[in-house]
Structure 1
Amino acid sequence: MTFTPAEQRALPLLTQPEKIAAHRLGVSQSAFKYHKANIIRKTGTANLCSAVATLAAQGHAFECLEGRA
């Protein structure tokens, strides 16, 4: 899978709420949703959970919010 630079920046934030991820990236929420949809499509999966599992199996790391169960 080849990701654009913007998608590569969004990858670690896929597990974050969209509003928080967009703010962290300095982009609009709709821009983050666009990158997220492209990542899901490029992984060939049907949803975000499957995309994250696929990417994690390939060695990608994801950020977690502190203080959340």
Structure 2
Amino acid sequence: MPFGGYIKENGISLCPEHHKMAESYHHSNGEEYPQGFHPNELYRKIGSSFEIAQKASKRLERYS
């Protein structure tokens, strides 16, 4: 995310096992991920999207 920092629009709490499953998308260059763990699916679960998270992160620019 631009400007770093935690933003709720990009945050989801996962146990270690499910965190690893969610990261599999990034470790495989987007080619592999367990059902329900595509980034877009995870964003939907928290009522967000990549675009929404980016906009929220850009608002942090004034603090950097």
TM-score by length of 1: 0.32
* Greater C-alpha radius of gyration: 2
Q: Determine which structure has the larger helix proportion and give its number.
A: 1
TM-score by length of 2: 0.33
